[in-house]
Amino acid sequence: MGQLRDVQLFIRKANDAQDLPDLSHLLDDMSRSLGFRYFALGHHVRVLSGDLVQIANYPHSWTERFATLGYLSDDPAVTACQKAIVGFLWSDMHRLITLSERQKTILTESRHAGLGEGFTVPIHLPGECEGSCNFVATAGKSVSTAVLPVAQYVGCFAFEAARRLALNAPRRIAGSQTPGIPHLSSRQLDCIVLAARGKSDTDAGQLLGISNQTVHQHIETAKRRYGVATRTQLVVHALFDSQLIFQDILRH
């Protein structure tokens, strides 16, 4: 009964989530209470567009390496999703797919980055881009199979909440009635410029004389004001609205 109540509570909170950062916090909490450390929820696409969504709390170093090396199309969990109808443990992945050498490399590297056993809930919606919700334990830590039914349900409900938030997120189309440009403080804009120049939160913090957590907070607040999920979206929106200009980011 306790587990069911946890799921019911999560569903209620996920339905009430106002934006993707809200939902990220909920998933972060839920992952930890199930004995995991990380989550990643999203559509399986390289480039986000339209109503697609990707949120995660993986270590930054891993997220960057994953994007830079284009690991998504070879991600073994993504490939295994195509064969799976319900959630699977990463340690069982070999039963679904034959891992290529590159896929074995990705798994090994992910362990070095601190990612251990994972549980992937595939999301197949007719006529829509495929996605998944992943829960990942710290490397070396085991996962109790008793939590997997909870993770299965949480993954499905979280994905639906993310879909809804992405669909309802404010979007501006050139020429349409703009609801007004969100206000960004000069400090927030500083942080966005540095992020757009490829600086980490720590580097940006040093340049601005503030802590990396404060930098992170400025960027999260700005993302929330724009109703976007990623830094890249934030930069594009800020450029589009001329809150930044390209010269801020290039040729500095």
Partner 1 sequence: MLCVGLRRTNSVVHIVTNLNRGRFRRQIDQMHRDRKRLFVDRLKWDVSVIDGEFEIDEFDTDRAIYLIETDRTTARHVASVRFLPTTQPHILSTVFSSLCDGPVPIGEDIMELTRLCVSPDLAKSAAVSMCHHMWIASVEFALLFGISRYTGVSQAQFLSSLLSSGWEIEPLGLPRDIDGQITGAVAMPITPDTLRRARARFGYRYPVLEVIPQTQAA
In the complex, the smallest distance separating the C-beta of residue 176 from partner 1, rounded to whole angstroms, is: 20
Considering beta carbons, is residue 11 or 113 the nearer one to partner 1? 11
- Determine which residue in the list 63, 105, 152, 232 makes contact with partner 1, applying CB under 8 A: 152
Helix (H, G, I), strand (E, B) or coil at 48: coil
What is the Rg, in whole angstroms, of the alpha carbon atoms belonging to the chain? 19
- Determine which residue in the list 129, 156, 210, 239 makes contact with partner 1, applying CB under 8 A: 156
Considering beta carbons, is residue 7 or 107 the nearer one to partner 1? 7
Q: Which stretch binds partner 1 (CB under 8 A): 3-11, 28-36, 54-62, 223-231?
A: 3-11
Do residues 166 and 227 make contact, with C-beta atoms less than 8 angstroms apart?
no
Do residues 78 and 132 make contact, with C-beta atoms less than 8 angstroms apart?
yes
Can you say whether the dihedral through the CA atoms of 207, 212, 218, 222 is positive or negative? positive
Q: Which stretch binds partner 1 (CB under 8 A): 4-12, 18-26, 75-83, 228-236?
A: 4-12
Considering beta carbons, is residue 41 or 115 the nearer one to partner 1? 41
Considering beta carbons, is residue 62 or 153 the nearer one to partner 1? 153
144 binds partner 1 (CB under 8 A): no
Considering beta carbons, is residue 153 or 226 the nearer one to partner 1? 153
CA distance 58 to 99: 22
In the complex, the smallest distance separating the C-beta of residue 124 from partner 1, rounded to whole angstroms, is: 7
CA distance 216 to 218: 6
In the complex, the smallest distance separating the C-beta of residue 148 from partner 1, rounded to whole angstroms, is: 9
In the complex, the smallest distance separating the C-beta of residue 45 from partner 1, rounded to whole angstroms, is: 17
Helix (H, G, I), strand (E, B) or coil at 121: strand
CA distance to 25, 55, 132, 159, 185, per residue, from 18 (Å): 12, 15, 21, 14, 22
CA distance 102 to 87: 23
Footprint (CB under 8 A) of partner 1, residues 23-62: none
- Cα–Cα–Cα angle for 181, 185, 186, rounded to 5 degrees: 115
CA distance 99 to 91: 12
150 binds partner 1 (CB under 8 A): yes
**Which positions touch partner 1 (CB under 8 A)?**
1, 3-4, 7-8, 11, 85-87, 123-128, 149-150, 152-153, 156-157, 159-160, 163
